[in-house]
Structures are given as structure tokens and as C-alpha cells.
């Protein structure tokens, strides 16, 4: 009985070792492709996020310009004669405040993602080392 158990255990260990070796060889062949796909995905993601942030900031400034034009021409949604905000309606004043405060994190995100994209483009190995270190934390 003891001999049969040892043989079954040895067969199980051999199958496990063979499976681990097959998995390791599969990883060795597929790892370069996986790394290339990871770099492509991270680059595309950071560029797309930077573009969206830049468009958002541009839209905020275009709206600021439209608000100023509406106040100067004394017409439209943004103008109010009785306003304590220097002729600016409450909606315009609220948009100025929220837009100004909103531009700060958008600008930070824009420069952060532009930096990541630049790092992937110029130094992909360093990016991979930093990415692996962030995963290990």
C-alpha cells in the first residue's frame, strides 16, 4: 500500500513538474508579445486621456470667451444688470468659478499623461521597470 502511494505521488509530482515547465516555456515565447501589447495599450491610453483633457481645457476657455462677449454686449444668458458680479449673471459667475477650479486637475492630468506617453516613447524599458515596481507595492 505504501509503495503504491509513493508511486502515485511520484507520478503526480512528475505531471506537476511537466506542467510548470510547459507553462514556463509558453511564457518565454509569449512574453515579448505581451510586453509590446502592454506598452501599446498604456501609450494609447495616456495619449487619449491627454487629448481629452486638452479638449476639455480648450472648451472651458472658449466658453469663458463667449461669456465675456455676452457680458460686454449686454445680452444673453450671461448678462444681468442687477448682478453683484460686475454685470455677470449667477450662471456665468458659477461657470467661471467651477471652470477655473476644474482647469487645475485637468492640467495636472494632461501633463501627467503626456509625461507617461513621452516616457513610453523614449524609454520603454525604464517605464516597464517602474510599472513592475508599482505592481509589486
Blockwise average pLDDT, block size 10, the chain, 137 residues = 77 80 77 90 95 94 77 58 63 80 92 94 92 88
- The predicted structure's pLDDT at residue 74: 59
Contact 95, 63 (CB under 8 A): yes
- DSSP, res 76: S
- The predicted structure's pLDDT at residue 84: 60
- The predicted structure's pLDDT at residue 7: 79
Secondary structure of 15-47 as H, E, C letters: HHHHHHHHHHHHHHHHHHHHHHHHHHHHHHHHH
- The predicted structure's pLDDT at residue 77: 57
Nearest to 24 by CA among 13, 16, 14, 35: 16
**Helix ranges (DSSP H) in 82-123:** 90-122
Amino acid at each position: 500500500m505504501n509503495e503504491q502511494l509513493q508511486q502515485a505521488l511520484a507520478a503526480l509530482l512528475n505531471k506537476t513538474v511537466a506542467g510548470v515547465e510547459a507553462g514556463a516555456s509558453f511564457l518565454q515565447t509569449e512574453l515579448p508579445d505581451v510586453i509590446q501589447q502592454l506598452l501599446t495599450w498604456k501609450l494609447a491610453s495616456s495619449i487619449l486621456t491627454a487629448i481629452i483633457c486638452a479638449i476639455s481645457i480648450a472648451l472651458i476657455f472658449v466658453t469663458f470667451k463667449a461669456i465675456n462677449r455676452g457680458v460686454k454686449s449686454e445680452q444673453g444668458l450671461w448678462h444681468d444688470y442687477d448682478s453683484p458680479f460686475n454685470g455677470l449673471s449667477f450662471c456665468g459667475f458659477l461657470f467661471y468659478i467651477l471652470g477655473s477650479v476644474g482647469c487645475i486637475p485637468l492640467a495636472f492630468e494632461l501633463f501627467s499623461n503626456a509625461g507617461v506617453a513621452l516616457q513610453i516613447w523614449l524609454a520603454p524599458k525604464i517605464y516597464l521597470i517602474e510599472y513592475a515596481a508599482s505592481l509589486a507595492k
